[in-house]
Chain A
């Protein structure tokens, strides 16, 4: 538990109604607090609600019940416009499939979030985007389109895009899921370092225990319930050690 509660979920649930009118409970009474600069990992099998939790954290989805406080502000009271603004100002997303905008160069992709910024960030968007790409080691690929980049490079572009507005929280949904082990580790190192440099909180969803072990705190999501777990960090000691993908029970 860190000093400042940047993100605070209290007894959050999320239900959906299925076509046969039955109710599917995705999240059941989730409590989660993330402070500024903290790195948190959430592991769990597919279909356990990890992405739903991340969407709620990133203001892309709303809880069915419970409370979500963002720096003490109840998110449920924010109107959609204010929610969108806070989403853009405070959160940076890194997706498993990169989700880069096709047809645009790396620079245009990274500059895209700045189209929704105001003031200097908007007017200086190309310069800021170039700086962000340089930070992830792609300063020489500004005009390259995503389809011409490798998977690792595409994820670097996605990370540069997530960082470009200086978010308070970076939400990474399986950021290494589409990459080989080595590239995945390099990307996580980059993500960890970038988050540490900027002081942003990092919430990572992953199947990979080695990736999860790099975080300050780890949680396991199973049956819609979030429970803290303690993982060692084998990759921090030996980068070449075999990695288990089994989620501890």
Chain B
């Protein structure tokens, strides 16, 4: 007990006495641990930002997309939708949405303006993480409203509602055999500059008001990733059997490859930084031990065993790198906590990933390990010196 406590006290004393030298060496270790932990966290956040960006386009992980195979006689859009709903219910798929084109004109607006319509289900908002600048997305209850409700972009509001904000619920008239007044309930963010008017409306309302202007493009199903592959085949089969000839694409895994590459890059950079830090520490430790040979001899005269001297010198290095590792992790936590996400990633992250404590643990373990390795050589050197030579050094 006293031996271990004594060795730690002794190690701490040594660090205190040689703090400037040790501090310089430890800056490298702390930076390396910060790099490993911080970059891992940043990459995790970057991955999440990329994934969310991707999910806004193609749906959450894992979203299966079903495209019309073009084979067999197609039912009306409403009939097709009912068939797909039945198949989705059979496999307890909680979120799925149709994506249908609509060929509709809006009264007023500049000449030659074309509106890009999409008739969707309310689930589309969840599946694609649909953000809104103002107002709200569709709910299931909106399907029962008599007049259609719309979620549009800024260009649409500028063209047809004199730029009125969506939360004032401006109304526009959709032309057709029976013109109908529709209410804007939400505004989606601009996707790119100079984009034209875009508008979402509920598929059920569109099928009721404009059945002959609708054309089903595809369906999206949000399913558990672990059964996505299997489900793709099953859904294709069942949809075909039900009379809705859609081919469900297997899930894309390209982003997983990118994640792996990023992880290797992070580990490589962090490992290299840690190696440099460790070499710096080893250099300082060797110089310090040579400088301290006489002191080690004096300590041997106090009754320090060779094991105790070895352990003491090793502990100095380990205690130092452990402290440096802790400092590195704290810096990484602080940096990640106050990182300007919108500035770095271009837009906010909906589901901010938790701080990667496993990366912090790896960083700490690496710091302790590099301390032990860097301490091993000077510790061996310290033990090999003959006591009487050391005292006269």
Residues of A within 8 A of B (CB): 52, 55, 58, 60-61, 80-81, 84-89, 91, 93, 95, 99, 101-104, 108, 112-113, 115-119, 122-123
Distance in angstroms from A15 CB to nearest chain B CB is 15
Stretch at the interface among B133-141, B265-273, B294-302: B294-302
CA distance A84 to B387 in the complex (A): 11
User: Which residues of B in the span 87-129 have a Cβ within 8 Å of any Cβ on A?
Assistant: none
B304 touches A122 (CB 8 A): no
Known contacts A104-B13, A108-B13, A116 near B295 by CB under 8 Å: no
Which residue of chain B has its CB nearest to the CB of A82?
Answer: B305
Q: Is B86 an interface residue (CB 8 A)?
A: no
> SS class of chain A's interface: helix, strand, loop or mixed?
helix
- Residues in chain B near residue A103, CB distance under 8 A: 17-18
CA distance A81 to B305 in the complex (A): 6
- B1-50 CB contacts (< 8 Å) to partner A: 2, 5-6, 9-10, 13, 17-18
> What separation, in Å, do the CA atoms of A228 and B6 have in the docked complex?
43
Q: Which chain B residues border A87 with CB–CB below 8 Å?
A: 300-303
CA distance A103 to B298 in the complex (A): 15
Complex Cα gap A102–B18 (Å): 10
Whether the Cβ atoms of A116 and B301 lie closer than 8 Å is no
* A/B interface sample: 27 pairs, CB < 8 A: A52-B388, A55-B387, A60-B300, A61-B387, A61-B388, A80-B305, A80-B306, A84-B303, A84-B306, A84-B308, A85-B303, A87-B302, A88-B302, A95-B391, A99-B294, A101-B298, A102-B17, A102-B295, A104-B17, A112-B302, A115-B9, A116-B6, A116-B299, A116-B302, A116-B308, A118-B2, A122-B5
Determine which residue in B13, B300, B302 has the highest number of CB atoms from chain A within 10 A of its CB, and name it: B302
- In angstroms, Cα B233 to Cα A2, docked, is 102
B163 touches A (CB below 8 Å): no
Residues of B within 8 A of A81 (CB): 305, 307
Q: Report the separation of the CA atoms of residues A113 and B10 in the bound assembly, to the nearest whole angstrom.
A: 11
The distance in angstroms between the C-alpha atoms of A89 and B301, with both chains bound, is 10
How many B residues face the partner with a CB closer than 8 A?
24
- Residues of B near A89 (CB, < 8 A) are 303
Query: What's the minimum C-beta distance from B18 to chain A, rounded to whole angstroms?
Result: 8
Q: Distance in Å from the Cβ of A51 to the closest Cβ of chain B?
A: 8
Of residues 283 through 298 on chain B, the ones whose CB sits less than 8 Å from some CB of chain A are: 294-295, 298
Docked complex Cα distance between A89 and B2 (Å): 15
From the candidates A88, A95, A101, A119, name the one contacting B2 in the complex (CB within 8 A): A119
- Chain A residues, Cβ within 8 Å of B13: 104, 108
Cross-chain contact of B10 among A52, A86, A115 (Cβ < 8 A): A115
Q: Which 7 residue pairs spanning A and B have beta carbons closest together?
A: A88-B303, A113-B302, A103-B17, A84-B305, A122-B2, A116-B303, A115-B6
Residues from chain B with Cβ under 8 Å of A93 in the complex: 301
* Contact assessment for B2 and A84 in the assembled complex, using a CB-CB cutoff below 8 Å: no
Q: Are the C-beta atoms of A99 and B305 separated by less than 8 Å? A: no
Chain A residues, CB < 8 A from B391 = 60, 95, 99
**Nearest chain B CB to A196's CB is how many angstroms away?**
23
B79 smallest CB distance to A (angstroms): 87
Q: B301 near A60 (CB under 8 angstroms)?
A: yes
Given contacts A87-B302, A99-B294, A99-B298, 7 further A-B contacts (CB under 8 A): A55-B387, A60-B301, A60-B388, A80-B306, A104-B17, A117-B2, A119-B2
Contact A101 B295 (CB under 8 A): yes
- Least CB separation from B291: chain A residue: A102
In-complex Cβ contact of B303 among A52, A95, A113 (8 A): A113
